[in-house]
Amino acid sequence: MPKRYRDMFPSEPLLRNAHQGRPSAAALMTLNYFRIAPAEMPVETYAEHHVLMNLNETPQRVLNWRDGSEFDYQFKKDDVVLTPAGIKSGWRWFDEAHTIVATLDPEQVKWFAETELSMILSQQQLADNQLRSDPEICAAARMILDAMGSSDKASAIMFESLARVFLVKLLQSYGDTEPEIKALSSKFTADHYRAVLNYIESNLSEPILLEDLAAQTAMSTSHFSRVFRQTIGSSPGQYVINYRAEQAAKMLGDPTLPISEVAIRCGFSDQPHLTRVFKKSFGITPRSYRARNAS
């Protein structure tokens, strides 16, 4: 019987994401961060895909037993090892591990690839990748890690978007597609998302135009709109609206802050504008939301 990868790791993770919101990119994967002493994992067959991403600054020796073969190599910073579900794999590492491990449920990956990216994956779904340097995938994972470890970054909208950036890049780079199907190539990177998010955060109280967001990525507005929607799952404009509403919900936790002031700080034209958007997002008015969370 295939095992879950996280049940075999010889330590509890320091950080672990929680599934948030509706079925989503964040809900179909588990991201764990480990920093532990030298150890070994026995050879097992796993029901999930698992992706190991190395954060160690110094290369370290690692043994990987993989479907009857032994690999002895130097695991360098930003190296990635991807093991599809159903492949026997075991590990031994000789120095302290500083690693992000992502596990993905194959059925959910299939659903996401088909419905969100129009990708038809093979039965294996992901390429058997024994070792590859991939700074972009590691950068996307580190952004999720930062969000997991920072309470002021605990935004469901941001977390889902980070998860989508990671998952889309993973499927673009490692998806094992049927021969007649081409994988989507949107060229929207984790760095692009970071630049867009930083701009939105810095200008939350101001009007934010599509041209402003596209400028952060050095893309044309039409190309930016297309690749943003393909990767994040919503238009840039809708993302900004949702983000404003979510930040307003956080500010409503301060009972001394007038709702009209919350509206202005979050970039709404006035309190009625905030109320319309907030009710659409959360199902209740800002006033009712504040009262419910105060009780």
| 204: CB partners within 8 A, 6+ apart | 243, 244, 247, 265, 266, 267
User: Which CATH code for domain 241-294?
Assistant: 1.10.10.60
Determine the number of helices (DSSP H) and then strands (DSSP E) in the chain: 11, 12
> Where do the structural domains in the chain lie, given as residue ranges?
5-185, 241-294
Q: Is the pTM of this model over 0.75?
A: no
Higher pLDDT, 219 or 147: 219
pLDDT tens digits for 192-234?
A: 988 999 999 999 999 999 999 999 999 989 889 988 988 888 8
pLDDT tens digits for 77-106?
A: 999 999 999 999 999 999 999 999 999 999
CATH class of 5-185: mainly beta
